[in-house]
Every structure is written in structure tokens, then in C-alpha cells.
Amino acid sequence: MQPHPDADRLTVCQVEVGAELLQVVCGAPNAREGLLTAIARPGVTLPDGMKIKKAKVRGQESLGMLCSARELGLSDEHTGIMEISGDIGSGMDLAQALGLDDVMIEIDLTPNRSDCASVVGIAREVAGFAGRQLQPPIDRKDLPSLSATHPEFGVEIRETELCPRYAARRLTGSGSPPLRSGCREGCRPWGCGRSTISLTSPTM
């Protein structure tokens, strides 16, 4: 890789993609030799609708785009291109390399099926028509007992007919740390996965 001759903030990179060597113009500050990252080649359409084409950037040919996690719809991280770790071969499909080649099912519920408005509800429905036994995600007896004698917070239900019950639990000592990679990837289909706080939405 070398600095772009006509642009101070651009770099001309020679990118190894399997057996091919592609020239890509990149403006990311963390682009460096030996970095394993993600590339979108000409013909690829990114999640935001951007179509990658062969182009010339300030007179230099660019045969693709080195991508940040946000450009690939994987997270909000966009300070630079992705830095991928692990034993991953050059030219490997990114979804396969990151364990993202999974099936996502979108479910549109009718108003009379509120019993399916949860992960457990859907699992119960699938177990029913598939003839399988439901595997509860957690045994209630393993949950710590809660006492309402002196709660440090309260929940007031003002419309009891619309909401007869609301359960709350207070988490302490967690702050907002990033989720571990395995948990983050598992939560991505739900539209969350950046931190412990974002995990509470599908949990509720």
C-alpha cells in the first residue's frame, strides 16, 4: 500500500482476495499492511442500497470498497474499516467467516395471536406443529427470588384495564458494557446487540 499521489487522506491498497490482487483506494485511518478486513467487490449492494462499482478515485483505479462494520449493517462502528481476527483465509465469504450465514424468519402476527408475541410463544407454536417438545430457555427455579418489601424503585400502572400487570427487574453493576461477540451475533437479527442495555428489548 502507498499514499495516494493526489490526495493526502487516501491510500492506494493492494488487497489480496483469495488468488486475486485488487487495487482499492481507501480513506480509512486504520488501513495498514497485513490487516484482515472486509471488501465489497464491484456488483455488491450494501445494506444501505449503495451499489459498488469499478471506479477511479482521483485518477487511481479502485476495484471495490474496504468496509466498516456500519457499512455492512453489522454495528454502529465506523471509525475505520473492519479489523477481523481469527484464523480466516483470504477470499473467504464474510458471512461464513463471521458465522452470519443463518436463516432469519420474519413473523407477522394477527391481533388474535398475542400468545406468539415473544420468543417463547413462537417456540411453543413451532414445537406444536413440528411435533416436538418445547425446550424452555430458562428454568424459573434458577432465577433469584425478588422481594417487594423495600424496593428501590416502583412501577405505577395507571390503566389497569389496558395493562393489568407489568413486571420489572433492576440490574446493578453492569453499566453499559459491550456484549461478547457470540451474544452480539445472536442478538443481531432482533435489531440490537450493541450493549447490555439494548439486550433488554427482546428480553422484555
Strand partners, 17: 20
* Dihedrals phi, psi of 23, to nearest 5 degrees: -90, 125
Contact 25, 13 (CB under 8 A): yes
CA 45, distance to chain mean position in Å, is 18
Note the pLDDT tens digit of each residue in 150-186. 567 777 888 888 888 787 777 676 555 555 555 555 6
pLDDT of 21 > 90? The answer is: yes
CA atoms of 39 and 43, how far apart (whole Å): 12
Instruction: Output the pLDDT for position 86.
Output: 78
Could you report how far apart the first and last alpha carbons of the chain are, in Å?
Answer: 48
Note the pLDDT tens digit of each residue in 73-93. 888 888 999 999 878 889 999
Task: Give the whole-number percent of the chain exceeding pLDDT 90.
Answer: 43
